[in-house]
Structure 1
Amino acid sequence: MEANFAKGKMITVLSIDGGGIRGIIPGTVLKFLEQKLQDLDGTQARIADYFDVIAGTSTGGLVTTMITAPDKDNRPLFAAKDIVKFYLDHAPYIFPQKKSCYGMSNLISKVTNFFGQATGPRYDGNYLRTMLNEKLGDLTLKQTLAYAVIPAFDIKLLQPVIFTTNDAKSNELKNPRLADVCISTSAAPTFLPAHYFETKDSNGGTRAFNLVDGGVAANNPTLAAITHITKEISVMGNSDYINIKPMDTRRMLVVSLGTGAPKNDEKFSAVQASKWGLFSWVLDFENGGTPIVDFFGHASADMVDYHVSTFFQSLHR
């Protein structure tokens, strides 16, 4: 299906937030949407046929890759109906739950888990890396069937890295394997290990990446996607976006999917936090959470919601 922006009508954007196993939620929404599109256009219709730009962070980056990576017939590797099954099949191995030794008290179990998390990531990431390498092989970013936008964060350079299909097509050093992109954007601090890889070009040049979860910078990648489109129009002069002005939100259709929130989201008070030291900010001893990581993730996502909502409303007046 021909992209809408190539026709000069409208740019369609799908954005998927980070949220770990809660990627099941946008997966369920996309399954429903794809089924409705198939009712209209036939059983071969796929999400990537209808969105020009698909952005995803962390677990959203995995979903983005699933529905935009090509199979041997140059069609999406995964149908939307396969996303939830993917999580149900693989999540128990990506996030294995440690079993307490028989007779071990709850307190001892918590202490053991606490010190385990204090000395390394909660999960070793081996299963995730192996599985992604097997499924994606040597597919690279420039091969995606829709323009992908996937954030990560470089801890050596202390700056975000926004992986995009456009950049990958124009610069070999920005065209990593999709497996490396997925491992990087999902490397949540304290949960999964940081990811290092290099890209090479035909002239022998190399670029090194030292990456963690894109949620550190943009847990909601909507603004990153819109900014990327604006750059392609105003700076790069991308001919795909002909007849569309930068930041013309009247010509953008944006579907932004979150990953929900747990019922106990309001779980900390200023009275509690005023007594916290270093370890308490990093690890919730009682529930095994990571307060400071959660705070930054929610904050960045909510700020994007605020800015994008205000921006669209102001330009539609």
Structure 2
Amino acid sequence: MRFFPFFKRSGDTVRILSVDGGGVRGIVPALVLKSLQMRLTRLSSDAQLWNSFDLIAGTSTGILIALGLTKPQRDSESNFLSHPEYGIDDIIDTYRLHAGEIFPRATFRALRQVMQAFGEKYDSTHFERVIKRLYGRTAVRDALTNLILTSYDTEARRPFFFKRRPPHHRPADDLDFLMRDAARAGCAAPTFFEPAYVSPLPPAFGNYCLVDGAVFANNPAMAGYIEARKLFPRAKRFVILSLGTGSTVKRFTYHEMKNWGYIDWVSPMKGVPISSIAIDGQVESVNYQLRKLAGVEFHRLDAPLLGCSEEMDDASDKNMNALQRLAQGIIQANDARLDTIARTLVGQGTSPKDSR
């Protein structure tokens, strides 16, 4: 039942799931969540991922996971007895079956990288077809639990958040969007896809030009925490499970960079260093801040992309298999920790504050 989280859990504790951006690397947190789901089920037959968290935050590929976990079988705000249309296995299969459709491999890959400097790398039609099939006409407001999903408004020059909130927490100007439009906007990575041009429900409020929220919050855990503080102002304890999509291992040395100009800093051939460095810095700064906050128990599960491509669009069989091995390594390295997190989510124990 939808109200399962509130039957057994203390009202002063809020559980938050946060999933980073990372394109095809989203299969990594999806597999970690599958392992967590198995542990939850062993503790309680009623415990599912969607009803074990009070709020889910997502950026880019993390939005696809958040929406996949919370899309109801019935499209209605009164769906409190509804169940999610998809399970975690369905989400994993989406990566396995459709990543290559969304990010088709080019015969002349180096040429495509050069052309990326002059226009978007991919036609968004394939991606739009996939998310239309997944989410149909379901609205973000119909989601089974609270959501905060990141994007960036290029016309207003400020962050933009798609939110699912309880009715009593919604201001009059709170906008609703189709899930597929939130996914399209939140995954509109600059130079990979053209910006999204979407309208709220009802469409009388005009259109918004939006791009991937990774430009300011590839790690949305802090956004999730702030939103949870608004929704649960009396809470004393915030348990945050933050899932990465693999951390970069490429290093830029002084001798390599000392003569770089504009072209080098934005070169796709070099992995767009100015972007990747900014994203890494944001991810790590959020991790640091949340570990230091009083009343926050922060669990960060991630690992270096050793043996994997750092490119968000490498959907080759070789890389997808490598990412699955990376996920298994994260699960094995955090076996006891995942058990503890599962017990905390169903209200059977507490977890120590993360000191890492």
Taking structure 1 as the reference length, what is the TM-score of the superposition? 0.83
Verify the 8 A CA contact 1:138 1:177 in the aligned structure 2. Answer: yes
Name the CA distance, whole Å, in 1 between partners of 2:172 and 2:10. Answer: 26
Q: Secondary structure at the match of 2:200?
A: strand
Equivalent in 82, 85, 90 of residue 77 of structure 1: 85
Name the CA distance, whole Å, in 2 between partners of 1:228 and 1:8. Answer: 17
What pairs up with 1:154-165 in 2 under 5 angstroms? 154-165=153-164
Verify the 8 A CA contact 2:238 2:295 in the aligned structure 1. Answer: no
1:222-255 per-position Cα deviation (integer Å, ceiling 9, x unaligned): 1101111222345xxxxxxxxx24xx3xx22211
Give the letter aligned to residue 217 of structure 2.
Answer: A
Q: Secondary structure at the match of 2:260?
A: coil
Name the CA distance, whole Å, in 2 between partners of 1:171 and 1:38. Answer: 39
1:147-184 per-position Cα deviation (integer Å, ceiling 9, x unaligned): 01101111111110121102885557610101011111
Name the CA distance, whole Å, in 2 between partners of 1:119 and 1:39. Answer: 52
Name 2:273's counterpart in structure 1.
Answer: 291
Q: Which aligned runs of 4 or more in structure 1 are off by greater than 3 angstroms?
A: 3-7, 167-173, 312-316
1:262-308 per-position Cα deviation (integer Å, ceiling 9, x unaligned): 4xx233223222222222211243x5x22222112111111111111
What pairs up with 1:107-146 in 2 under 5 angstroms? 110=110, 112-146=111-145
Name 2:219's counterpart in structure 1.
Answer: 220
Name the CA distance, whole Å, in 1 between partners of 2:13 and 2:296. Answer: 19
Taking a change above 3 Å as real, the CA distance of residues 48 and 230 of structure 1, as seen in their structure-2 partners, is same
Verify the 8 A CA contact 2:199 2:206 in the aligned structure 1. Answer: yes
Name 1:195's counterpart in structure 2.
Answer: 196
Taking a change above 3 Å as real, the CA distance of residues 254 and 115 of structure 1, as seen in their structure-2 partners, is closer
Name 2:283's counterpart in structure 1.
Answer: 301
Verify the 8 A CA contact 2:116 2:268 in the aligned structure 1. Answer: no
Consecutive unaligned residues of structure 2, counting only runs of 5 or more, are 75-80, 298-352
Verify the 8 A CA contact 2:121 2:192 in the aligned structure 1. Answer: yes
Equivalent in 223, 235, 239 of residue 253 of structure 1: 239
Name the CA distance, whole Å, in 2 between partners of 1:186 and 1:155. Answer: 14
Verify the 8 A CA contact 2:115 2:121 in the aligned structure 1. Answer: yes
Consecutive unaligned residues of structure 1, counting only runs of 5 or more, are 101-108, 235-243
Name the CA distance, whole Å, in 1 between partners of 2:12 and 2:296. Answer: 21
Name the CA distance, whole Å, in 2 between partners of 1:129 and 1:277. Answer: 36
Q: Secondary structure at the match of 2:105?
A: coil
RMSD of Structure 2 on Structure 1 (CA): 2.5
Equivalent in 10, 21, 24 of residue 21 of structure 1: 24
Taking a change above 3 Å as real, the CA distance of residues 90 and 293 of structure 1, as seen in their structure-2 partners, is same
Equivalent in 51, 54, 69 of residue 52 of structure 1: 54
Verify the 8 A CA contact 1:173 1:206 in the aligned structure 2. Answer: no
Verify the 8 A CA contact 1:27 1:63 in the aligned structure 2. Answer: yes
Name the CA distance, whole Å, in 2 between partners of 1:195 and 1:20. Answer: 16
Name 1:239's counterpart in structure 2.
Answer: none
Verify the 8 A CA contact 2:19 2:220 in the aligned structure 1. Answer: yes
What pairs up with 1:30-109 in 2 under 5 angstroms? 30-42=33-45, 45-72=47-74, 74-100=82-108
Verify the 8 A CA contact 2:114 2:268 in the aligned structure 1. Answer: no
Verify the 8 A CA contact 1:4 1:12 in the aligned structure 2. Answer: no
Name the CA distance, whole Å, in 1 between partners of 2:257 and 2:120. Answer: 23
Verify the 8 A CA contact 1:69 1:143 in the aligned structure 2. Answer: yes
Please, which moves more after superposition, 74-83 or 18-27?
74-83
Q: Secondary structure at the match of 2:64?
A: helix
Number of paired residues? 288
Name the CA distance, whole Å, in 1 between partners of 2:296 and 2:149. Answer: 27
Name 1:241's counterpart in structure 2.
Answer: none
Deviation at 1:312, TM superposition (A): 3.8
Name 1:183's counterpart in structure 2.
Answer: 184
Please, which moves more after superposition, 16-25 or 305-314?
305-314
Name 1:150's counterpart in structure 2.
Answer: 149
Taking a change above 3 Å as real, the CA distance of residues 33 and 99 of structure 1, as seen in their structure-2 partners, is same
Verify the 8 A CA contact 2:290 2:296 in the aligned structure 1. Answer: no
Taking a change above 3 Å as real, the CA distance of residues 217 and 167 of structure 1, as seen in their structure-2 partners, is farther
Q: Secondary structure at the match of 1:128?
A: helix
